[in-house]
A = this chain, B = another copy of it.
Amino acid sequence: MTRVATDSRHEILRAAAKLFREHGYSAASMNDLAAALQLSKGTLYHHFQSKDEILFHIMNDALQITEDQVKKPVLALRDPEERLRTCIRLHIEVVLHARDREITVMLHENQPLSPELRKRINARKKDYVQFVEALIADVQRAHGSRSKVDPKVAAFALLGMINWIYQWHRPGGSITEQELVDQFTQMVFSGVVQ
Contacts from A to B (Cβ < 8 Å): 21-28, 108-112, 129, 147-150, 152-154, 156-157, 159-165, 167-169, 174-175, 179-180, 182-184, 186-188, 190-192, 194
**Bound form: Cα–Cα A24–B20 in Å:** 11
- Identify which of B27, B108, B179 contacts A24 (C-beta below 8 A): B27
Copies in the complex: 2
**Contact indicator A164/B156 (Cβ below 8 Å):** yes
Report the separation of the CA atoms of residues A174 and B180 in the bound assembly, to the nearest whole angstrom.
31
Are A24 and B164 neighbours in the complex by a CB distance under 8 Å?
A: no
- A153 near B26: Cβ-Cβ < 8 Å: no
A164 contact from B22, B159, B190, B194, Cβ within 8 A: B159
- Residues of B within 8 Å of A174, CB to CB, are 152
Beyond A24-B112, A149-B186, A150-B175, 9 additional pairs, beta carbon < 8 A:
A23-B112, A26-B28, A147-B186, A148-B186, A160-B162, A160-B164, A160-B167, A164-B164, A191-B191
Task: Return the contact of A27 from the options B26, B153, B163, B164 (Cβ within 8 A).
Answer: B26
Kindly list chain B residues whose C-beta atoms are within 8 Å of the C-beta of A157. 161, 164, 183-184, 187
A-B contacts, 21 of them at CB < 8 A, read A21-B110, A24-B24, A25-B26, A108-B167, A109-B109, A129-B168, A148-B182, A150-B179, A153-B175, A153-B179, A153-B183, A153-B184, A154-B187, A156-B161, A156-B168, A159-B164, A160-B164, A160-B165, A160-B167, A187-B187, A191-B191
**Would you give the shortest CB distance from A102 to chain B, in whole angstroms?**
12
